Amino acid sequence: MMSLAKSIPVYLPWLTDAENTAAREALELGWLGMGSYVGQLETALQELVAAPDRHVVAVSTGHAALHLAMFLVGAGPGSEVITPSFNNIADLQAIVAVGAEPVFCDVSDTTLSIDLDHVEELIGPKTKAVIAMDYGCHLCDHDRVQQIAKKHGVRIIHDAAHALGSRYKGAAVGSFSDIAMFSFDPVKTVTTIDGGALIVRSDEERRQLHEMRLIGMKQAATVMYGNERAWNYDVERIGFRYHLANLHAAIGLAQLSRFTQIVETRRATFKAYVESLDGIPGLRVPRQDMREIVPFMFYIRVLGGRRDEFRRHLSSQGIDTGIHWQPAHWFTLFKDCRRGSLTITEAVGREIVSLPFHSNMAAAAQARVIQAVRAFFR
């Protein structure tokens, strides 16, 4: 067994002098709460997604973004939100946090995004929203998502945590959805250490989010973006301590300044994996044209009930693997939720494996992973 020091982790942040300098300057500024860097980050994100007609609101985590989105769509006690069961637990906890019920839909066998052939049969009088999640290197069929939303009068929460920088039919992710959310946690393509963002259409929703992320305080964000605080304010709605700190935003800005490099390295590693692993019997790899995609992770599906054996083999070679994710209906908290057929979800839940995938991943590390995977199936 190789030592932990020589192991290849599933995720590894790419941090440079740019992030170190940004963090130091943010600390030296002395304004540690939400301030000027947060405003700059929101502007940079709006430019990245090319959405001058939308509003970007930065928050403390991706989960915070999802939680606040539930309030925007009116989810609450007695209502339902349709979501893939194959989803991050953050989405599910956001639904139950507002008192709503998740309704589980299957996923596409190809993209692992929500199966739109089955969404409509689950929509009912209690449905407030549908979560359309992009997964790994695949995007949901967002044209069809919008058609379903218009037909049934439901809102769409676009979970784009995996899709920052990607484009759908030429349009930047975040520029076309009803409500879009991004995550910048430690393992994401761009990290702020922890953070998230919502992109909304209306100034009214932006105003609501500004209040809710600041424990309900009706305080102009422009004041805090000037590294000041207003001491006179009203409170009209429920709120949470969900604002983003200046230090985290500064690190995110440094990451975004290197975004082109980050994208290029991730696409190169994705291509190397596909070219080396595609076509191996007993193994499924994602196939995707990278010209409009920024891949967040590289997953495979190990067929024939051999996943645990496969993961033990890679561990013996000093290579970490992950499982993203366990289906939600397997968890005690959600076992009684309403659901449709989950045939693909059941299969994926037992086959999915995440391989190490990093920005600027060393060629030697890629080769070790590829060699270990091929050796197992050989």
Q: Is residue 4 part of a domain?
A: no
Distance CA 31, CA 374 (A): 51
Res 344 pLDDT > 80: yes
Q: Are strands 196-200 and 179-183 parallel, antiparallel or unpaired?
A: antiparallel
Chosen domain end from 201, 225, 257: 257
Distance CA 352, CA 371 (A): 19
- Give the least confident one: 5-9, 194-198, 251-255: 5-9
Domain co-membership, 233 together with 296: no
Angle separating helix axes 203-212 and 62-72, nearest 10 degrees: 120
Is-contact 246 31, C-beta < 8 A?
A: yes
Distance CA 378, CA 373 (A): 9
- Arithmetic mean of pLDDT, 115-142: 98
**Would you state the structure tokens that stand for residue 192, as one six-digit string?**
């702020």
Instruction: Give the pLDDT band of residue 4 (cuts 50, 70, 90).
Output: very low
Residue 171 CB contacts under 8 Å (≥ 6 apart), including other chains:
none
Neighbours of 232 (CB within 10 A): 6
Is-contact 95 119, C-beta < 8 A?
A: no
Q: Is residue 219 part of a domain?
A: yes
**Would you state the structure tokens that stand for residue 74, as one six-digit string?**
């009116």
- DSSP letter for 140, please: -
Chosen domain end from 202, 224, 257: 257
Please report the pLDDT score of residue 2 as a whole number.
40
Looking up tokens 């992710």 gives: 173
Is-contact 155 178, C-beta < 8 A?
A: yes
Distance CA 186, CA 188 (A): 6
The burial of 217, by beta-carbon neighbours within 10 Å (0-12 exposed, 13-18 middle, 19 or more buried), is given as: middle
Res 352 pLDDT > 70: yes
Distance CA 316, CA 204 (A): 54
When divided into structural domains, the chain yields a total of 2
Residue 222 CB contacts under 8 Å (≥ 6 apart), including other chains:
39
Domain co-membership, 186 together with 72: yes
**Would you state the structure tokens that stand for residue 80, as one six-digit string?**
């339902």
Is-contact 73 129, C-beta < 8 A?
A: yes
Res 1 pLDDT > 70: no
Domain co-membership, 118 together with 80: yes
Domain co-membership, 38 together with 180: yes
Q: Is residue 303 part of a domain?
A: yes
Closest CA to 324 of 297, 289, 285: 297
User: Which amino acid does the sequence have at 68?
Assistant: L
Is-contact 295 163, C-beta < 8 A?
A: no
Domain co-membership, 215 together with 121: yes
CA atoms within 13 A on the CB side of 119: 30
Q: What CATH number corresponds to the domain at position 30?
A: 3.40.640.10
What residue ranges in the chain does DSSP mark as E strands?
55-59, 80-84, 101-105, 127-133, 155-159, 167-168, 171-172, 179-183, 196-200, 217-218, 234-235, 283-284, 298-302, 352-355
Domain co-membership, 216 together with 280: no
Res 290 pLDDT > 90: yes
Q: Is residue 83 part of a domain?
A: yes
**Would you state the structure tokens that stand for residue 366, as one six-digit string?**
């890629």
Q: Is residue 312 part of a domain?
A: yes
Domain co-membership, 241 together with 286: no
Domain co-membership, 185 together with 211: yes
Is-contact 103 75, C-beta < 8 A?
A: no
- Arithmetic mean of pLDDT, 64-75: 98
Q: What CATH number corresponds to the domain at position 334?
A: 3.90.1150.10
Domain co-membership, 84 together with 223: yes
Is-contact 281 69, C-beta < 8 A?
A: no
Q: Is residue 9 part of a domain?
A: no
Domain limits at 77?
17-257
Per-chain mean pLDDT for the chain: 97
**Would you state the structure tokens that stand for residue 149, as one six-digit string?**
């939303």
Q: Is residue 5 part of a domain?
A: no
Domain co-membership, 48 together with 181: yes
The burial of 288, by beta-carbon neighbours within 10 Å (0-12 exposed, 13-18 middle, 19 or more buried), is given as: middle
Domain co-membership, 207 together with 285: no
Instruction: Give the pLDDT band of residue 6 (cuts 50, 70, 90).
Output: confident
**Cα–Cα distance list, 263 to 6, 290, 294, 327 (Å):** 26, 10, 6, 29
- Arithmetic mean of pLDDT, 139-146: 98
User: Which amino acid does the sequence have at 305?
Assistant: G
Res 8 pLDDT > 90: yes
pTM assigned to the model: 0.97
Chosen domain end from 226, 257, 288: 257
Domain co-membership, 125 together with 220: yes
Q: Is residue 1 part of a domain?
A: no
